[in-house]
Structure 1
Amino acid sequence: MSPERPSGDSDLLWNVLTLLIWVGILGVILFVGVVYVNPNAPINPFPPRPLPTLFTLATPSMASVAPATFSETPTPTLTATEVSSPTPSPLPTLVEGTPLPEMGSTITPTPYFYAFAVQGKPNAVTASLYHPERTCDWMGVAGRVFDLQGRPAVGIRVWLKGYLGGKAINLFSLTGTASLYGPSGYEFTLADAPMVSRGSLAIQLLDQADLPLSPQITFDTYNDCEKNLILIDFKQVR
């Protein structure tokens, strides 16, 4: 029989290994506890990123503002005069018996806001100059529109509104539809006989979105066969 090896050496080895394992477990527990309590501890290999510092603006105080100093010789400065942009006003609301603003044939200076201005003054002539058959059985408004270079401006909307003889007038036309007055001519028929009105009719140019291209121009009509056609021309100014 072979001699049996003593078990004392193997027991000692296992005891030492067991002790090392327990020491390792305790070390891990201690490490985790320290890092949990203080994440910024030097033993933490992955410390958290520092929080960003809040940026606060200092509140200025009157004491921190240095008083302005002035030289004995004042320095001249240029002052720009503020000019308010005029707001285009729509044509007056039609109320029978209430006339439009009493302007007659007086032309108001055109604000720079508008692209077109009336050219000259409304001119009352006999319609027979353009329509020989129209004597005293017709009354209307006509005219032309020109661009910056003086060329005919075709396709511009023309709005005629107001009242005449107790009847409402609300008519639209396009430049270029009455070539008898020129390539950019327009024309409105108002009545089948000359009638008197004082500032109760107004005419204005509009774009395709019904925004005003010119100021509204009020005018008079006459009970006169020699003044049954009112000519109103417009010219682009900007």
Structure 2
Amino acid sequence: MIPWLDDNAPFPDVSLALTEADGAPGLLAAGGDLSPERLLDAYRHGIFPWFSAGQPILWWSTDPRMVLFTERFTVSHSLKKTLKKVQRSMSTDGRWQIRFDSAFEQVMRACAAPRADGAGTWITEDIVRGYGGLHRRGYAHSVETWLDGRLVGGAYGVCIGRMFYGESMFARVTDASKIALAYLVHFLRKQGVVLIDCQQETAHLASLGAAPISRAAFIAHLRQATRQPPIENWHPIDLF
């Protein structure tokens, strides 16, 4: 059994999360709320919410933890060509643009839209409201790919100090989410962010250079990184 969190109840220690043998590896607790205070407390302890509509709020701390070291971000030859095209356009005709934080809720709702594979979404209205609150406080950020004035891709996540927690990405044209991610990773690396939390292990993330590390190593890193000064000025930086 996992504990039920009343509004003011603290999170249990992450070592108490369920294991593979329990059938829900990483599940730690249920209940509570999605207030900015609760969400920030969760992220500072390596915990994240993940649940579907109709379920209670479920809190997770997976072991191992999928992370992307910013120095190990992998750019394929074809993506590099695309990124050079985008960067040329940004300085010439302006058809392509990369922006930070200009359409945070739009990005969230695009990430929540049904996918081509028919998969449902975990980004409920409660999640949109909760992370919107973090965004207004300066803790949640979006990176966006725009083409001819239309939002075509992007990603969003949470940043505390020099620790970034990736949440979700979307693309409406080929490579639009990877373009956004490349600019985000480049910016974060320049700001001294060593790794990005990816939460769940997937083949797609692995293809970009992400890899699992132990929860203990992840927690040790975030304790140090979240104590660093916050990033003040979010803006895209030229890749080349």
Task: Give the TM-score, by structure 1 length.
Answer: 0.23
Structure of greater Rg: 1
**Larger relative helix fraction:** 2
Task: Give the TM-score, by structure 2 length.
Answer: 0.23
